[in-house]
Amino acid sequence: MRSSLIDSHGRAISYLRVSVTDRCDMRCVYCMAEDMEFLPRADVLDFAEMERLCASFIRRGVTRIRLTGGEPLVRRDIDTLVRSLGRWLRPKGSSTPGLDELTLTTNGSQLRQHAKALYEAGVRRVNVSLDTLDPERFATVTRRGRLHQTLDGVQAALDSGIAVRINTVAMAGVNDREFDQLIGWCGEIGADLCLIETMPMGDTGEDRRSQYLPLVDIRRDLATRWTLEPLTVRTGGPARYVRVAETGKKLGFITPLSHNFCESCNRVRLSCTGRLYTCLGQEDGADLRAVLRGGGSDDQIAATIDDALSHKPKGHDFMIGRRGGEVSGPVRHMSVTGG
């Protein structure tokens, strides 16, 4: 077995995000264009290929996998993949290679149909993307989503014993007056909330510059109405948390633009085409599908991963000028990378 996954800056890689599809039943304005051209089926990894690549990462120290999309739950027979990966979950405290957590990010529209199967496979926590509690605004932001389906999915997950974190992209002029309502609602249903700065990825037909809200300002404003207690808890991702004393639930902030978190990055991303991205904000990486379909051995897969990690950048290059300045980021859409 090769040594653990360490990049050229000495950061240990323990977290793999796997996009299982580029397809989605919504077209959120910060994620996709209205008219998307999705990948041919032949370009997308089958489940056996995904499992083999995931196993390669797990054997070398990845302890946490998050399934993403597009929307992961629109992939046909997705429960089969979740069950297979769930077999890697290991008892708490075990030193054998395995997963401490298997989770996913979803828009919630298909969550009611899958919640029970997810729990039975070992999923104990999911992130649900939800940017507004207003039905009309929800339809506008998602371009085709129905709020009641997502809310129904959230409740189904909670009823199944799966903890929920609501992910909300903060957008000026869109949902910037809803954060108090979202905090209160999450407290009522027993979910955590995480606010996320909009990221300039791909052309979605929207001006992300005009929508950008630095979360340092939002946090300062929220602190005038809510008691925000600092926490040191981490879930393995980039969020920094406080506890809202009035609700008892956690409130997270993901700030790739106003205060990046690259110095502690422990993540890589595997696209549904087998492209390994070592940074969300860069176009670097490696084509693992080519190695797989070229008959490559496990050692060749490992060597390709190691070479990609040797070029993992120290930090991303996201940038949004606040007053008509430059916007920069990868040309690929968020849905291609898997978030």
Annotated binding residues for GTP, written as ranges, equal 17, 66, 105, 267-269
Which among 201, 136, 191 is positioned nearest to 168, based on CA atoms? Answer: 191
Cis peptide before 70 (omega within 30 of 0): yes
Q: In angstroms, rounded to a whole number, what is the distance separating the alpha carbons of residues 11 and 103?
A: 22
Token readout for 26 is: 């919504």
- The number of residues in the chain equals 339
Q: Which two three-digit tokens encode residue 80?
A: 């089969």
Binding site listing: 17, 24, 28, 30-31, 66, 70, 105, 129, 199, 262, 265, 267-269, 279
Say if residues 68 and 338 touch (Cβ distance below 8 Å): yes
Sheet (strand 240-244) strand order = 228-230, 240-244, 250-254, 192-197, 163-170, 125-129, 101-106, 64-68, 15-19, 267-270, 275-277, 286-287
Tokens representing 238?
A: 């980039």
Residue set of the binding site for S-adenosyl-L-methionine: 30, 70, 129, 199
Q: Annotated binding site for [4Fe-4S] cluster: which residue ranges? A: 24, 28, 31, 262, 265, 279
Report which of 222, 178, 174, 170 is spatially closest to residue 198, judged by C-alpha positions.
170
Are the C-beta atoms of residues 113 and 82 closer than 8 Å to each other?
Answer: no
